[in-house]
Structure 1
């Protein structure tokens, strides 16, 4: 479990890190912690964070790029982890829904019990996501593939190849079936031949996407709008 605390106040970062570490020790949760002093520093390392961070505790009121805008940019770039806002105003909850935040904590008000409740709920969500598998049938072989590790599917002459982790696997299916199965899990069709996890898209343009590992995949003209919607989380006007 990788946890990042983003807050422009060092005392706040120390405070939450100490409490979260204590909870992890008590509940036997294996966790690593990183920190960012503001949204601009966090976004500088955005690609690494999108790929490796499970839970982000995000201060809302930071100088420069505030927490809400930082969260929006993370979502636009495929971050699918849990975001918990740290705020001095309960009104932030109304904006939290726009970036699919897991929850929020009011600074100087939230008790240790409240922090533990919110944190453990986020941990449960992460564990549930990581435990999701898809059963794929190859030639004489079955394979349970973790959905969170899948970068993309490629189809050529009715054979589908799934690329995940540091390996790949060939099986028989249709892109339509996979698209229906995985649409709600952050996948988007970018051409007749490719179904891609938005989590692993580093950047995209009208004619291609660049994956986090540097792989370039073509974008079909009629699929660009759906790609743009999936990456922005909202439909074009």
Structure 2
């Protein structure tokens, strides 16, 4: 998802961009220091999300929001302000929320989760000494691997210490169980095949077919 920042304070823009850099599925496509520039950049880049400082010289954030609502109704708007009382007028313009400066990381995460729901849910894993995260929405396959769960996602794979049963219980709208040791992403399912008495499912973005148990195959047909 692409986002744009409108703020006339360079330090504030850098801080927000640094906080947002922790989310791999968000990309900053532009920064603007005034409202007129922000509107031009929005037209050029069509961002999914815009962070708008309210108090701006010239065209302020509220006016920018009003024009974006007309021109880009699908774009999500978050106001950034040093004055919480401005939020009341902000919600009149159907903003998705607001952040008070200096921006708190936990508040930012909570707001993004409120806006994007499951798209913001992430799982943690280790690569050497590095800690990384993957969005649940990107996971295509999860397989039980002794004490761990092996997950396959767009661009990689990893081991996590969350049992398969717990993973299914936590994200029932994302996964469907096709075998006692395998979950797959519902929205990635392309077809269910029958080959010599056994069943396999093919997924978009995953090369190998996945074995489906007889018990799962019966409910699988009903589900899809």
Give the TM-score normalised by the residue count of structure 2.
0.49
Q: Would you tell me which structure has more helix in proportion to its own residues?
A: 1
Name whichever structure is richer in strand by fraction.
2
Q: Which has the higher contact order (CA 8 A, sep 6+)?
A: 1
Largest Rg, 1 or 2: 2
The TM-score with structure 1 as length reference comes to: 0.47
